[in-house]
Structure 1
């Protein structure tokens, strides 16, 4: 007699199937959330190294964590729904609440960083390029800058003239280059010797404008995914509460 009795009402049965459907979709959404976070960290990790703060990366890490918990919670929710165990439903509700808070946090972090990104880039990207490019122990910065300039077809932080202040360009290690070879429209060894517009990218606004637009677009995705899934979870929590109340309390 350790098991509690079930109220075989139409409402309870409907709630069970609604919650099961929600959990299946929730599990799929968890995969999407985790995928967005992993994609941000893996595919664009080079650009993260050019940013002065870890807020952008933190938002992605939170999404990865939340996505993993969502997938586990989705399975737990299915078990709790069909076994109709109030204890499992309580655990499930607490996990939903934790994930909700994590995803709202990711969305808030993305929004905050969205507001301060322009100023941070203006203050730090040029300094990073001219002081750390081709320097020992900063190979990841060099790779990121080369990738940035080639992928976005730009040269320098604000303009190609920024490279005139570069520690590396002014040293003998540059072999007389005026800009890095990654500034060239067709990259070849030593092509950075010639900084004519026919040879290198001279884009108005430099790489700052391109990188800012790129990161803002990704912050919108991170924020939308985090807040969007969090809003959907409210429905799951409502269904869980309704099913929990429709079941008889387990006798002790």
Structure 2
């Protein structure tokens, strides 16, 4: 009877080992994806981040990068702990899983909260940014971001092209709007603000930028919460394997 129980336990342990190893392989791949989403957000969309007064959007991306890096390291550690059957390593692995779980939930929650307040924040700050910081020496990054925003999304001004009447640089140069508002970008094309020459989009750039950021917040939130849910499976497997291993000096 004792031999049967021991064989049953050994068989169960082996199954758990391979389940946990398989989980760790896919978990490592998930870490690559998580880090990739975070890095892509920070590098490809960094110009638009500078137009947001709140750092919540950037913080969510940084959390994903950090979590992705830890996930990749943890995946390798999990494989080592599984095949060496070391309870101490399994304990460390479980703690790391828990930390990553909390980080990714935090990223998801931050993305959700910011999603709710984004519209109001843009209404309060985007127009002020365009008026006060565009073509001001110490805000060159803002100027680049605004020009890229207007060209990429084919829009002009925060709410409309008339917002630029309050920008001193635009008025001093004889323009009605910045050249980046033009449908065909040429030097001083912004002197004429006729609809045939510049983008006249209902709602201005604020609606375009809001949709863009909200779409990316959905991705950040979904990735964070999705991977966190998968980790629960890993933590369950880890606990089961830990309990199935005999107590020893390790």
TM-score (norm 2): 0.96
Aligned-partner Cα distance in 1 for 2:87–2:215:
42
Q: Secondary structure of 1:134's match?
A: coil
- Can you list the C-alpha shifts for 1:149-196, whole angstroms capped at 9, x where unaligned? 00000000000010011121233xx2x011000000000001000000
Aligned match of 1:189: 187
Runs of 4+ in 1 over 2 A off after TM superposition: 5-8
Structure 2: segments with no counterpart, 5+ residues: 1-5
Aligned match of 2:227: 229
- Can you list the C-alpha shifts for 1:108-132, whole angstroms capped at 9, x where unaligned? 0000000000000000000000110
How many angstroms does 1:250 deviate by? 1.2
Aligned match of 2:248: 250
Instruction: Tell me how large the CA RMSD over aligned residues is.
Output: 1.4
Which gives a bigger RCO, structure 1 or 2 (Cα 8 Å, sep 6+)? 1
CA contact (8 A) 1:52 1:124 kept: yes
CA contact (8 A) 1:6 1:248 kept: no
Aligned-partner Cα distance in 1 for 2:123–2:240:
51
Summarize the Cα distance change of 1:65–1:6 in structure 2 as closer, same or farther, 3 Å threshold. Answer: farther
Q: How many residues align?
A: 245
CA contact (8 A) 2:122 2:210 kept: yes
How many angstroms does 1:9 deviate by? 1.7
How many angstroms does 1:90 deviate by? 0.1
TM-score (norm 1): 0.95
CA contact (8 A) 1:7 1:246 kept: no
Structure 1: segments with no counterpart, 5+ residues: none
How many angstroms does 1:7 deviate by? 8.3
Aligned match of 1:96: 97
